[in-house]
């Protein structure tokens, strides 16, 4: 049986893992697909760079044409990152009838629909399991395992960097900047951590998840995003006092034909399964009409976990090759995009205020909430040592985004309110 030849774009952390798995798991791959799998060419920036792998230098190239124009290469694996140039290379590869496996969440979130269309037109497979949650097979589970169900809600921790930071802040009482530096030193966070800590990385993954889970084309611009850089030790401490744990949560919810998708720091009840997911681990909670609640948990990044997802996609491509069904697995979105208005989005909220420490102030605040039909689930009132100020911490019952925004505006205009210190979404019921 002729071997399947692979062209690899990129030999960084994940690319190195892909080479290791393909080399070390040949017996497993042979058993799965019935033929040898070999990497023929690898695109790199610097062939002379010292590497942890013992690679035949003749396999390395700096020219993508050596891969996409090689008639012997059947599958292109892309793990080099980038958007515009990478998109062009993958389109040319698929036009040359090469199947593509990618771990590029940025590319798939921004141009996934176009790339899948090119794949379909050229009867090529385009698989991208590793683009979301590393080694957790969440996309395959949505497309295959839960394909007969109607997904109602997905919520999850899909960024390991922010989960590591929030875990250390919560467990060790350390400041955000201090833990961020730790995460950078350990390689969990980039030198410029903006994409992670401001929620953009998670938003890209949620756009991909929502598109597949709801069979509706959800774009990155449709995801409402806020990050963790403003989260303080006080927020975590008060949350803990009330029975909550802070996580950066990606949230996607469908009601009827309308959806909402967001990424935001969220206070989860300590009893919620996602509250116990710590450090750099990821987890995604999926609610289906038929199956009920399921949770997918595991390492969200790293060389070998992500490479495992990449090579699993490669196995899927080769099985399709053997069956002659490549290019038939892509399913276009079934439903037109319909996004909820703010008046159709509901949540509980955590709100922390600094107010004048005077009689009647709390009654004024209560009356504002009452005028919008919003009541309180929990209340903490504490003195602040300076400036005759009191701190009030509230957890509301469910309120619409529209009502809550109006409440915040009225509170800002209330003379007795010195400052709105923080506000977060709340999920689950605390003890």
> Distance between CA 27 and CA 30 in Å, rounded?
5
238 and 395 in contact (C-beta within 8 Å)? no
**Residue 250: per-residue pLDDT:** 98
**Residue 430: per-residue pLDDT:** 61
- Work out whether the CA dihedral 306, 198, 113, 40 comes out positive or negative: negative
**Residue 142: per-residue pLDDT:** 87
Extents of the domains making up the chain: 4-134+303-323, 138-299, 342-427
**Torsion over CA of 159, 164, 166 and 171, rounded to 10 degrees?**
150
> Distance between CA 404 and CA 123 in Å, rounded?
49
Beta pairing, strands 258-269 & 224-225: parallel
Distances in whole angstroms, Cα of residue 280 to Cα of each of 9, 123, 162, 283, 312: 26, 37, 8, 10, 22
**Residue 147: per-residue pLDDT:** 81
- CATH code given to domain 138-299: 3.30.360.10
**Contacting residues for 118 by C-beta, under 8 A, at least 6 apart:** 91, 94, 95, 124, 126
Same fold, 4-134+303-323 and 138-299: no
The b-or-e profile of 262-301 (16+ CB within 10 A means b, else e) is bbbbbbbbbebebbebbebbbbbbbbbeeeeeeebbbbbb
* Residue 423, Cβ density class (10 Å: 0-12 exposed, 13-18 middle, ≥19 buried): middle
Total number of residues shown for the chain? 431
**Which of 41, 87, 98, 205 is flagged as catalytic?**
205
342-427 architecture in CATH? 2-Layer Sandwich (3.30)
**Residue 252: per-residue pLDDT:** 98
- Concerning whether 415 is annotated as a catalytic residue, the answer is no
Q: Write out the E strands in 292-375.
A: 292-299, 346-356
- Which parts of the chain register pLDDT below 50? none
With tokens 């395992």, the residue in question is: 145
Distances in whole angstroms, Cα of residue 172 to Cα of each of 165, 277, 280, 423: 10, 16, 16, 23
Average per-residue pLDDT for the chain: 92
- CATH code given to domain 4-134+303-323: 3.40.50.720
């Amino acid at each position: 049986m002729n071997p399947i030849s692979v062209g690899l774009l990129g030999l960084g952390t994940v690319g190195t893992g892909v080479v290791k798995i393909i080399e070390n798991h040949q017996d497993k791959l042979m058993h799965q697909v019935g033929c040898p799998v070999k990497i023929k060419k690898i695109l790199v920036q610097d062939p002379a760079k010292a590497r942890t792998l013992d690679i035949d230098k003749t396999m390395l190239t700096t020219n993508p044409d050596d891969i996409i124009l090689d008639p012997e290469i059947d599958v292109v694996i892309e793990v080099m990152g980038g958007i515009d140039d990478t998109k062009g290379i993958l389109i040319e590869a698929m036009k040359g009838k090469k199947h593509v496996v990618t771990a590029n969440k940025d590319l798939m979130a921004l141009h996934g629909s176009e790339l899948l269309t090119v794949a379909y037109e050229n009867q090529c497979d385009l698989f991208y399991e590793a683009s979301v949650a590393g080694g957790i097979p969440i996309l395959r589970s949505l497309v295959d395992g839960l394909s007969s169900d109607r997904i109602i809600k997905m919520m999850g921790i899909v960024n390991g960097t922010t989960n590591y930071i929030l875990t250390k802040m919560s467990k060790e009482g350390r400041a955000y900047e201090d833990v961020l530096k730790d995460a950078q030193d350990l390689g969990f966070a980039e030198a410029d951590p903006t994409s992670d800590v401001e929620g953009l990385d998670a938003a890209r993954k949620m756009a991909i998840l929502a598109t597949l889970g709801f069979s509706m084309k959800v774009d990155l611009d449709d995801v409402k995003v806020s990050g963790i850089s403003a989260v303080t030790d006080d927020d975590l401490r008060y949350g803990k006092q009330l029975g909550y744990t802070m996580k950066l949560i990606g949230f996607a919810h469908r009601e009827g034909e309308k959806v909402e998708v967001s990424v935001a720091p969220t206070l989860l009840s300590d009893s919620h399964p996602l509250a116990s997911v710590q450090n750099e681990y990821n987890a995604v909670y999926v609610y289906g009409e038929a199956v009920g609640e399921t949770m997918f948990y595991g390492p969200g990044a790293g060389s070998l976990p992500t490479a495992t997802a990449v090579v699993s996609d490669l196995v899927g491509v080769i099985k399709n090759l053997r069956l002659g069904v490549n290019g038939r697995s892509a399913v276009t979105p079934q439903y037109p995009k319909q996004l909820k208005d703010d008046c159709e989005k509901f949540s509980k909220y955590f709100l922390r205020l600094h107010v004048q420490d005077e009689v009647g102030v709390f009654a004024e605040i209560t009356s504002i909430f009452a005028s919008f039909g919003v009541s309180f689930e929990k209340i903490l009132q504490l003195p602040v040592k300076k400036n005759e100020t009191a701190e009030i911490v509230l957890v509301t019952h469910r309120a619409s985004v529209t009502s809550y925004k109006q409440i915040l505006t009225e509170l800002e205009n209330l003379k007795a309110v010195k400052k709105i210190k923080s506000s977060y979404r709340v999920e689950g019921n605390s003890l």
